[in-house]
Amino acid sequence: MLPPALVVQQSPESSLARLAPELQTAVAELKRLGYMLSQASAPPNTRGVVELKHSGSPNTLVVVFQPAQVKIHLNVPLSDALYGQSETLKKQLAAAFPELEQFYLGSSDGKNLANLSLISTSATPPTAWYAETLATLQRADKQLVGTPSPQLDALALDEAFKSGVQEHLRALTTNRFTVSQLEKRESSALTPPYFVQLLAKDTKGDESMVAFFPQAKATLYTTSTEISLTKPRELAERELSAELSKLLPEAKISFLGSLATPSMSTLKLAYPVSARGQFSLVEQLESFHLARLFARRGPASYSEKEQKLLAKLSVNAFQKSVITQVKREGWRIDDAYGFAREKEPLGGYLAISRSEAPAPNAALAPLSLKIHHNAVDIDAVGFLSAKSEAERERFQEQLQKTYPAFKVTVLSSSLTPGYDRVVLTLSEALPASDVPIKLLAILLRLQETLAQVTSPAR
């Protein structure tokens, strides 16, 4: 999003450059550990404060350089379920990590957070202290998100199978799933005659069932979830079966009728054991969220302006399906025109956004799609305070390492004096076969990434 034209904010790197050299050295070490600087300042009674983020984690790292010590805070977002266990978690942390200076668990601005912190014994701790301190905080974070190993250890299971389940539980908790109702169930149809079943709840509160089976020293699993529908059963079955079969071709789709309301139905999605090699456990559960979005959406609705824009296009069935999917998922079409490339059929360009107001006149379209006859190119554009040429190059390299899924370019923009343009481009065109499955996820990821990169805090 373009900042107000009369407010030019200092970049974090420029602010960092005004801090003491030993503070800059400490931040350089944190960057080496994979963190990216998002804020730097020098509030009263401190030598400086920096905030950093890591692309592989939702946590925020804050380092406060006090006059005689250094204090590191790791702020960890908590699900409602974990926040409800605050007192229990505090006791667990106090017992497991007595060296923690602080382990506050609270809620503000509608967000649940845990603040884990450690403090140095000197004003200039050795470089290695930062890596060691982070390792301790990250171990505390893993315990905080509730790895349910005590529940698993209480079950009589084969050790190899138990180890396999534990690895999957670690992946779930790392991705902020809350695990509950973990239990062992008997089944004479299996060899060995038991399996482990649990409920996994994501940060949006949606639940999925996971069942683990021991087989020939391997840990197999199946996943399933139920989605309540608001449409009559016959209509839901006709519309959703066709679309979800394209979106999730490996999933088994079924509908469960309601005795209380015969016209209504519940959609059940399940991945069989055979899908395990194609999608990880986390990917399977995340795909259920996409299915929920499809099940809840209404028909594509076009404004008068959008209808006029699209009337200029000559599109084939594939291109029309892309436009329809974009609109159904809540994107607004701000611009559209046709384009041609040598020896290729006509294509359609769409500039889209999700904001309430149109994109600023001085900025380019925040997201754009070039829809070829059988593939889609996607990119996103944002603006941030202008940097020098050397700063732009360093910043571009930093962004490229942080967001390897996209090609990143940072350019000086004549359209907006005082601001640089950040362009994120999908590395390869999305083929028609992948559009039903991946388009929505890519657009949302681009939108979130662009918001992080160009936020005023940067």
Residue 233 resides in a domain: yes
Residues 94 and 188 in one domain: no
23 three-state secondary structure: helix
Residues 275 and 356 in one domain: no
Is it the case that residue 305 has pLDDT exceeding 70? yes
Residue 2 resides in a domain: no
Task: For residue 239, give the nearest of 263, 267, 209 by alpha carbon.
Answer: 267
| Torsion region of 420: left, alpha or beta (phi above 0 gives left; psi -120 to 50 gives alpha) | beta
Confidence of residue 427 (pLDDT cuts 50, 70, 90): confident
Q: Which pLDDT value is given to residue 2?
A: 33
Residue 181 resides in a domain: yes
Residues 99 and 170 in one domain: no
Q: Which pLDDT value is given to residue 436?
A: 75
Residues 449 and 323 in one domain: yes
Q: Could you give the CA distance from residue 285 to residue 208 in angstroms, rounded to a whole number?
A: 7
Note the pTM of the prediction, 2 decimals: 0.46
100, 126, 144 - which closes a domain? 144
Q: Could you give the CA distance from residue 289 to residue 295 in angstroms, rounded to a whole number?
A: 10
Q: Which pLDDT value is given to residue 82?
A: 61
Q: Which pLDDT value is given to residue 149?
A: 53
Q: In the 8-state DSSP scheme, what is residue 42? A: -
Q: Which pLDDT value is given to residue 4?
A: 33
Task: For residue 332, give the nearest of 357, 314, 363, 360 by alpha carbon.
Answer: 357
Decide which of 416 and 76 is more confident: 76
Residues 393 and 349 in one domain: yes
Q: In the 8-state DSSP scheme, what is residue 187? A: -
296, 330, 359 - which closes a domain? 296
Residue 92 resides in a domain: yes
Residues 336 and 198 in one domain: no
Residues 401 and 326 in one domain: yes
Confidence of residue 83 (pLDDT cuts 50, 70, 90): low
Residues 259 and 135 in one domain: no
| 19-28, 71-80, 142-151: segment of lowest average pLDDT | 142-151
Is it the case that residue 195 has pLDDT exceeding 50? yes
Residues 153 and 291 in one domain: yes
Q: What is the mean pLDDT of residues 317-345?
A: 86
Q: In the 8-state DSSP scheme, what is residue 275? A: G
Preceding peptide of 192 cis, ω within 30°: yes
CA 240 centroid distance within chain: 25
Mean pLDDT computed over every residue of the chain: 80
Residues 181 and 79 in one domain: no
Q: In this structure, what CATH number is given to the domain that contains residue 82?
A: 3.30.1460.10
List Cβ neighbours of 10 (8 Å cut-off, separation of 6 or more).
Answer: 385
Residues 102 and 46 in one domain: yes
Backbone angles phi, psi at 295, to 5 degrees: -70, -30
Q: In this structure, what CATH number is given to the domain that contains residue 409?
A: 3.30.1460
Residue 303 resides in a domain: no
Percent of the chain residues topping a pLDDT of 90: 18
Confidence of residue 10 (pLDDT cuts 50, 70, 90): low
Decide which of 355 and 247 is more confident: 247
267, 296, 325 - which closes a domain? 296
Q: Which pLDDT value is given to residue 171?
A: 75
Decide which of 216 and 421 is more confident: 421
Decide which of 355 and 406 is more confident: 406
Question: Domain count of the chain?
Answer: 3
Residues 321 and 405 in one domain: yes
- Supply angle C-alpha 322, 328, 331, rounded to 5: 85
Q: What is the mean pLDDT of residues 77-98?
A: 69
Domain ranges, residue 73: 12-144
Q: Which pLDDT value is given to residue 66?
A: 92
